[in-house]
Amino acid sequence: MRRTAGLAAASAVALLAAGCGGGGPAGSGDSKLTDDRVVLGVLNDQSGVYADVSGKNSVKAVEMAIADFKAKYGDKAVTKNISVESADHQNKPDIANTKAAELYDRKGVDAILDVPTSSAALKVADVAKAKKKLYFNITGATTALTGASCNRYTFHYAYDSYMLAHGTGTQATQQGAKNWYIVYPDYAFGQDMEKKFSAAVEGAGGKIVGKDATPFPNDNFSTFLLKAPTLNPKPDTLGTMQAGGDLVNLVKQYNEFKLRDKGVGLAVGLMFLTDIHSLTPAALAGTTYTDAWYWNFDQQNRQWADRFLSETGTRPTFAHAANYSAAMQYLEAVQAAGTDDADTVVKGLEGKEINDVFLRNGKIRAEDHRVVHDAYLAQVKPQAEVKEDWDYVKILKTIPAAEAFAQPSGDCKM
pLDDT tens per residue, range 6-24: 444 444 444 444 444 444 4
Looking at the chain, the whole-number percentage of residues with pLDDT higher than 90 is 90
Instruction: pLDDT band for 414, please (50, 70, 90 cuts).
Output: confident
Residue 30 confidence (pLDDT): 55
d(CA 103, CA 57): 19
pTM to 2 decimal places: 0.90
Q: For domain 32-159+298-373, which architecture applies?
A: 3-Layer(aba) Sandwich (3.40)
Where exactly are the structural domains of the chain?
A: 32-159+298-373, 162-291+376-404
Instruction: Tell me if 63 sits within 8 A of 114, measured CB to CB.
Output: no
**pLDDT surpassing 80 at residue 25:** no
What's phi and psi for 140, nearest 5 deg?
A: -90, 145
Q: For domain 162-291+376-404, which architecture applies?
A: 3-Layer(aba) Sandwich (3.40)
What's phi and psi for 86, nearest 5 deg?
A: -140, 160
> Could you report the per-residue pLDDT of 311-358, keeping only the tens digit for each?
999 999 999 999 999 999 999 999 999 999 999 999 999 999 999 999
Residue 369 confidence (pLDDT): 98
Q: What is the DSSP letter of 382?
A: P
Which residue intervals of 292-382 are DSSP H helices? 299-312, 318-337, 342-349
**pLDDT surpassing 50 at residue 276:** yes
Residue 185 confidence (pLDDT): 96
Residue 35 confidence (pLDDT): 87
**pLDDT surpassing 80 at residue 129:** yes
Instruction: Decide if 32-159+298-373 and 162-291+376-404 have a common fold.
Output: yes
Per-residue b/e over 374-385, b at no fewer than 16 CB within 10 Å?
Answer: bbbbbbbbeeee
Instruction: pLDDT band for 203, please (50, 70, 90 cuts).
Output: very high
Q: What is the mean pLDDT of residues 162-179?
A: 94
**pLDDT surpassing 50 at residue 29:** no
**pLDDT surpassing 50 at residue 259:** yes
Residue 18 confidence (pLDDT): 43
Tell me the Ramachandran region of residue 36: left when phi exceeds 0, alpha when psi lies from -120 to 50, beta otherwise: left
**pLDDT surpassing 90 at residue 28:** no
Residue 34 confidence (pLDDT): 87
Q: What is the mean pLDDT of residues 194-206?
A: 97
Q: What is the mean pLDDT of residues 288-304?
A: 97
**pLDDT surpassing 60 at residue 27:** no
Burial status of residue 202 (CB atoms within 10 A of its CB: 0-12, 13-18, 19 or more): middle
DSSP conformation letters of 106-165? TS--SEEEE--SHHHHHHHHHHHHHHT-EEEE-S---GGGGTTT--TTEEE-S--HHHHI
